[in-house]
Amino acid sequence: MENLNFRNESREFQWHKILWFTFFIILLNNCIEPYPIKSINYRNLLVVEGFISSELKQHEVVLSKSTAINQAVFSPESGAQVSIKTEDSTITLTESALGHYLTQSMRGVVGKTYQLFITTESGRKIQSEKVILKPNPPIKNLYAGYSTNVPELDFKGGFQIFLDTEDSTNQSHYYRWEYEENWEITKPWESFYEWTGGNNVVYRENEVNICYGIDSTNNVITESTQGLEEDKIQSKVIQVIESSSRKLQVIYSISVKQFTLSSDGYNYWQSLLKTNEGQGQLYNAQPGTVIGNLVSTTDQDIVLGYFDACQVWEKRIFVMPLKFRSAGFVPFEFDSECKFQEFTVVPLDQIGAFYSKPENSNMDIVASSGGGLYLLPKDCCDCTSMGSNVKPSFWPF
């Protein structure tokens, strides 16, 4: 499983990239029925991302146009008419931002059928297959373990996040997960002062040596229990984290969402997964695409994406890495160079001239004494380039 950088693209752009990434040379051999694949040359294709859950919220459909493989850009499809039909009603969506269409606040109903309809600004009509909002068993357990010999990390030391789930009715069988990570970051020095221009220095209102990183997955994580005696999953690896990752510096948290899929939906996501694993670079040119459950009723052009509905369960845990010392975890020493960093001392009446030089823009004021200001590189006292210094509302510490 890949480790992701902390600052990731927006969720719609993540899935836009994954969907466009399905242009590939050949689908790897697999033990399930391959999802339909068509060979195409590059052109602007409509990309649809839509999902209805049992959560009480505004549900979103994102419409965009595929772009050239080497162009990392979200190209919205604006001005469309979007609706979702059930057995007894029609739900009209409103464009809240370019390419983003929202329902009113609503809760999807388990067992109900939903179908997506789109009319683009140019008059092209697209519709999805009918999907049933599927039930979903809760996540039974979510837990962390440390090993000095993790296969996904080339047998180096690291943490694994495991999940257990079970459907006692033996009806779910096909699962998908996505997650969001949060972690605390600290710097060894605190910058108490802030330069405001000229020779003016003020106390900082907010500390900048404690921050919080965030990352969302764009991995495809799936599992099937079809053919097994029990609809039960144990010790499913959701994420792995190297021992030297900044995520493990203080406190680490992960929130996992669980979805159930139809057999067609599972095959679709498996095809995307195998495509992702089979390619070296995201933007390599690929001449084929995995087809989802959306079609155009006005032409024969391909529509990328998948529309689905299911009950959603979410579970969050907090991990204190230092509690795993007995299992062999050795904390990585971050910012060790700051221990030996000498202060740069600047008289207060010269601080404006000091900061007027571009090469000094990476310095922060950590202390003041006797008319002099003591400065260190930002890397030693300011973590805001690595995360937000606003504590998440759910952070318990």
Please give the sequence-ordered ranges of beta strands (E in DSSP) within 286-396, or none if there are none.
288-290, 294-296, 303-310, 313-319, 344-347, 363-369, 372-377
Alpha-carbon span 286 to 289, nearest angstrom: 8
- In this structure, the number of other CB atoms found within 10 A of the CB of residue 300 comes to 6
Q: With contact defined as beta carbons under 8 Å apart, do 348 and 201 qualify?
A: yes
Q: With contact defined as beta carbons under 8 Å apart, do 174 and 165 qualify?
A: no
Structure tokens, 315: 């579970």
Q: At what angle do helices 11-20 and 263-277 cross, to 10 degrees?
A: 80
pLDDT tens track, the chain, 397 positions: 333 333 344 444 444 444 434 433 223 333 334 445 444 455 678 999 999 999 999 999 999 988 765 666 788 999 999 999 999 999 999 999 999 999 999 999 999 999 999 999 999 999 999 999 999 999 999 999 999 999 999 999 999 999 999 999 999 999 999 999 999 999 999 999 999 999 999 999 999 999 999 998 777 899 999 999 999 999 999 999 999 999 999 999 999 999 999 999 999 988 877 765 544 332 232 334 678 999 999 999 899 899 999 999 999 999 999 999 999 999 999 999 998 999 999 999 999 999 999 999 999 999 999 999 999 999 999 999 999 999 999 998 8
Task: Provide the pLDDT for residue 133.
Answer: 97
Task: Provide the pLDDT for residue 7.
Answer: 36
Break the chain into its structural domains and give their ranges.
11-135+262-310
Task: Provide the pLDDT for residue 273.
Answer: 76
Task: Provide the pLDDT for residue 11.
Answer: 46
pTM to 2 decimal places: 0.83
Task: Provide the pLDDT for residue 70.
Answer: 60
Task: Provide the pLDDT for residue 354.
Answer: 98
* Cross-strand bridge partners of residue 83: 92, 117
Task: Provide the pLDDT for residue 272.
Answer: 78
| Residue of 311, 304, 312 lying closest to 128 (CA atoms) | 304
Task: Provide the pLDDT for residue 270.
Answer: 87
Task: Provide the pLDDT for residue 44.
Answer: 78
Task: Provide the pLDDT for residue 17.
Answer: 45
Task: Provide the pLDDT for residue 216.
Answer: 87
Task: Provide the pLDDT for residue 42.
Answer: 53
Structural domain 11-135+262-310, CATH architecture: Sandwich (2.60)
